Amino acid sequence: MNSMKLLSAQQFRDWDAYTIKHEPISSIDLMELAALECAEYIATEYTIVRTILIFCAKGNNGGDGLAIARLLIGKGFDVRVYILEMGKMGTNDFQTNLHRLHICTTEIHFIQSIDAIPTILQTDLLIDALYGTGIKDSLKDLSKDLVVSMNLSGAEIISIDIPSGLYVDHSSKGNIIVKANTTLTFQILKLCFLAAENAVYFGKVHVLNIHLITDFLNEITTVYQIIEATNIQSLYKPRNEFAHKGIFGHALLIAGSVGKIGAAILSARAAMRSGLGMLTVSLPALTDIEMHLALPEAMLINRDLNGIDLEKFATIGIGPGLGTEIDSEKMVQTIIENYKKPILIDADALNIISKHSDWLSKIPLDSILTPHPKEFDRLFGESDNEFERWQKAIHFSEHYQIVILVKGHHTLIASKGKGWFNQSGNAGLAKAGSGDTLTGVITALLTQGYNSTVAAIVSVYLHGHAADLALKDQSKESLLASDTIEFLGAAFKEFA
C-alpha cells in the first residue's frame, strides 16, 4: 500500500538536496518558491491593514522569512524585519536574501540583547521564521527570550514550515516553542503535527506545494505513513453480486454486562452495518431482550460458552462493556488460549490482560488490540510522551506479531514494524460509545477476510469518515456513536 510517508528531519533536508540536484534548481530559487507560496497565502488571507513583524534567525528558515518580507513589501504591506544575532554567520542563501531586502527597505533590525526585542502590539501580525526542521536543541538564551516575548504578546503568529523550537520527529516536551495560530508547512505534513501534545503550538496547518520532486519519496523508507482516501479505495473489497451470507463470515461478539449492554448493542449494530454475513452476540443472562429489540438481525447466546465450537466463527470481538470481574477474566483467558484465528480485543478485555502480562504472548497471531492511551500504558508500560508511546506500539506489534491501534485524534495503527496514522474523524468522536462502534467495524472486516492490518486501516478510516459525514446533521458536541453507525453506509458507498 503506497501511503504518504512521514519523513524525519534529515530526510526533509535530503529531499531539498535531491530536488536541487535533479530539477535542477538552485537552493536560492527553491527558497524563493517557498517564499512566494507563503507571501501569496498571507496576502490573500490577511487583507486588514496591520504591521507585520517578521522574526528571522540566520539559517535557511530565516532566509525564507527575509524573502517573504521582500515579497510582502512589494505587495504594499507594512513590514518590519528583526534578525536574531547569536554570533553566527548566516547561510549563503540567508545572506543573499538579506542583500535583496536591503534594496527595498530600511526596516531591518538586529536583536543582539533582550533590550533589543521590540515592543509587540496585540494588533501586529508576527511571522516566525526563526528555526525550521533542522533544529537539534531546545531554545536557550536570547532565542528563548524572544519566543517567550512573542507568545506573551497576544498577537497572531504565523510559523513558516514549523513553529520554532518544535522537533519534527521526536518529543518536544519541556521546550520553549512558538505558539502559532497558523503554520505554513512545505510539501507534506510533518510527524510532529500528528501529536496531541504539540497541538497548542502549531494551530491550523496549511500544506503549501513548493514542487519538490516526488520521486524522492519512492527512494526512501519510513516507519510512519498517513492513510489517505486513495489507500482505502485500493484496499476495499467490492461485494460479489452473487454472494450469500456464508461468504461474508460469521462473527462472535462477546460484550456487555449488567448496566453496560449499550456497549454490546453499539458494537453489534456497527458490525452488522459493516458487511459481515452473520453475527452471534454472547451476553450475560437476562439481557437478551434488550439486544433483540435493538438488533433483531443478531443471534444471541448466553455468556457460558461451554459446548460452543469457537472455531466455527471467522473471528471473535471481545471487550466492550464486558466488565473485569472474575467470570470475565476466565472468559478472556479461555478465548486467547483456545481460539487460534485473529481476534479483536478492546476495552475491558484489554484491562484484564494488563493484569496478566504473560497473557500477551498467548494472544492469537495477527489479532488487533485497540487501546486508548491509558489502556496502552497499562498494557505496555508508562510512556513519557506520545512519540515514545508510538515507538512502543511499533515495537510490541512486531514482538507479539499483533496489530495495535493507539486511539486518538490521529489514531496510529502499528503493524509489522510500520505505523499508519488516520486523518478522518473529528472531535465529536471524543464521547462514550465511539470505541465500541469501532470494535464492531473492525470485527466485521476481519470476518469478511480482510487481513488484520488492512482491516484495522480501513475500519479506522471508515469509522472516522462516517463521523465526518454525520456532521451534516449533527454538531461535534451533539454527535453520538449511534449517529456514526447510521452514516457507515454512506462512508462505504464512497468506495463501492
Distance CA 168, CA 404 (A): 23
Structure confidence at residue 306 as a pLDDT band (50, 70, 90): confident
Residue type, 176: I
From 315, 308, 265, select the one nearest 289 (Cα to Cα). Answer: 265
Structure confidence at residue 304 as a pLDDT band (50, 70, 90): confident
- pLDDT value, residue 3: 81
Average pLDDT over residues 78-107: 95
The answer on pLDDT for 356 being more than 90 is yes
Distance CA 255, CA 318 (A): 6
CATH 3.40.1190.20 is held by the domain 229-493: yes
Average pLDDT over residues 86-108: 94
Q: Which CATH superfamily is domain 4-221 in?
A: YjeF N-terminal domain (3.40.50.10260)
Average pLDDT over residues 275-301: 93
Query: With pLDDT > 90 as the criterion, what percentage of the chain qualifies?
Result: 94
458-486, pLDDT tens digit by residue? Answer: 999 999 999 999 999 999 999 999 999 99
Distance CA 66, CA 55 (A): 9
Distance CA 286, CA 315 (A): 25
What HEC string does 184-244 produce?
EEECCCCHHHHCHHHHHHHCEEEEECCCCCCHHHHCCCCCEEECCHHHHHHHCCCCCCCCC
129-177, pLDDT tens digit by residue? Answer: 999 998 989 999 999 999 999 999 999 999 999 999 999 999 999 999 9
Strand order in the sheet with 204-208: 108-111, 79-84, 52-56, 125-129, 156-160, 182-186, 204-208
- pLDDT value, residue 490: 98
- pLDDT value, residue 89: 84
Q: Where are the domains of the chain?
A: 4-221, 229-493
Distance CA 331, CA 114 (A): 65
The answer on pLDDT for 1 being more than 70 is no
363-410, pLDDT tens digit by residue? Answer: 999 999 999 999 999 999 999 999 999 999 999 999 999 999 999 999
Average pLDDT over residues 47-71: 96
pTM of the model: 0.96
The answer on pLDDT for 87 being more than 80 is no
Distance CA 244, CA 456 (A): 24
| Phi, psi values for residue 106, rounded to 5° | -105, 0
Average pLDDT, the chain: 96
